[in-house]
Amino acid sequence: MWCSSGRFHRHRHHHYGHGHGHHSHGHHNHDHGQGHGHGQDSHNNHDQDDDHRYDGHGQLDHVISGYDVMVSKDGRGNYTRVSEAIENAPNMSLTFYNIYIKEGTYEDNLYIHRTKTNIRLFGDGAHRTIIFGNRTNNETNGPTIEIHGERFQAANMSFVNDAGLTAGQANAVRNVANNTIFYGCSIEGYQDTLYAVRGSQRYENCEIYGTVDFIYGNAAATFLDCEIYARHRGIVTYTAQGRECPIDRSGFLFQRCNFTMSPADYGRKSDVKATFGRPWRAYSLVLIIESYIDSMVDRIGWLEFPDQPTDKLTYVKYGNVGPGSNTDGRVKWPGVKAFHHLPELLLFLSEDYPWISLSHNITWNLN
């Protein structure tokens, strides 16, 4: 089956204890089902990691026991530039190649070639180890990091594209690889911050900042315990999911996330009208589960995308809380669904989207 839905053209705040160091803003107003807080520390609950770390569904905080090379700005490591460490990593590795990046800001644009499999980058913490770029998508090597090597992992570091509010499309992360994990990372930009192109991708305990369509693409991407931060702009769209075909096993899944304003812009929240997103392609699929929705999210919930239909998409909500979680006033598109009871949601997923399995943590079943 071949699907085409137009030219390939694009022009945390309720905190559940994520440990990112920001203050809680409280929560109330359950919309549907159970709103499950998770006050446990982000480094607990990982007894299943070793069973899953190769398939894109593991966590990273305790599986990194050492490193193969170190990158340090002071010259005390093996390299001073992260790109050099990646270029010299083994090709088609069957085991993880661990690159430890010491604290500092590295002005570098990273490219993980498809032959660089099992690359793992880890730093001294988000906002301490920072990969910094400021190029737009129209420039050579525009993304701060572009990933083509399967089973890539990154932990405890930031990827920043500071091209600016008016620069247009400017990826901080362009992820084209399968079975990738970001854990404890900060992904920062404005328009089109994170391009989740395809494959199975997982983002856990991460912060993602942006303004327009800032999480977009056609990956099967799971966002678990993440802060989805809108930056100050009159109109903000969180997502632009690009599922093109009814047989595509793709979509965006957000569980226990916070849709809110960035800490720096929180005082200007009333200036912003945000929506969860808009359908980049006809069969766009987004699920928002057990998450906090802040007050600047407009009651309509979703916006149209130019030249794209609204009768084939699927946008699902269940168990969300917060002042923006009330589903009264949502757009009346046939695929916009709010579930009140977990069994109803499970039945719906099993019948229409069998590659999504809902358990304690939702995972994508792409087999």
pLDDT tens-digit readout, 117-142: 999 999 999 999 999 999 999 998 99
Question: Could you tell me if 255 and 223 are in contact, meaning their C-beta atoms sit under 8 angstroms apart?
Answer: yes
Q: Which of 31, 61, 108, 213 is catalytic?
A: 213
Q: How would residue 33 be classed by pLDDT, with cut points 50, 70 and 90? A: very low
pLDDT tens, residue by residue, 260-291: 999 999 999 999 999 999 999 999 999 999 99
Supply the pLDDT for residue 62: 42
Per the annotation, the verdict on 192 as an active-site residue is yes
Q: How would residue 327 be classed by pLDDT, with cut points 50, 70 and 90? A: confident
More confident residue, 44 or 264: 264
Rounded to whole angstroms, how far apart are CA atoms 135 and 150?
25
Q: How would residue 38 be classed by pLDDT, with cut points 50, 70 and 90? A: very low
DSSP string spanning 245-303? STT---EEEEES-EEEE-GGGGGGGGG-EEEEE--SSTT-EEEEES-EE-TTB-TT-B-
What letter does residue 164 receive in the DSSP assignment? Answer: -
Q: How would residue 357 be classed by pLDDT, with cut points 50, 70 and 90? A: low
Q: How would residue 174 be classed by pLDDT, with cut points 50, 70 and 90? A: very high
Supply the pLDDT for residue 3: 67
Pairing of strands 314-318, 285-289: parallel
The amino acid at residue 180 is: T
Q: Range with the lowest mean pLDDT among 32-46, 63-77, 321-335?
A: 32-46
Q: Range with the lowest mean pLDDT among 30-39, 44-53, 96-105, 121-130?
A: 44-53
Supply the pLDDT for residue 355: 79
Question: Residue 229: helix, strand or coil by DSSP?
Answer: strand
Question: Could you tell me if 239 and 286 are in contact, meaning their C-beta atoms sit under 8 angstroms apart?
Answer: yes
Rounded to whole angstroms, how far apart are CA atoms 366 and 364?
6
Rounded to whole angstroms, how far apart are CA atoms 258 and 51?
28
Supply the pLDDT for residue 294: 98
Q: Which of 31, 61, 108, 192 is catalytic?
A: 192
Per the annotation, the verdict on 213 as an active-site residue is yes
Q: How would residue 354 be classed by pLDDT, with cut points 50, 70 and 90? A: confident
Supply the pLDDT for residue 9: 35
Supply the pLDDT for residue 88: 98
Average pLDDT score over residue span 168-175:
97
Pairing of strands 220-224, 251-255: parallel
Question: Residue 187: helix, strand or coil by DSSP?
Answer: strand
Q: How would residue 34 be classed by pLDDT, with cut points 50, 70 and 90? A: very low
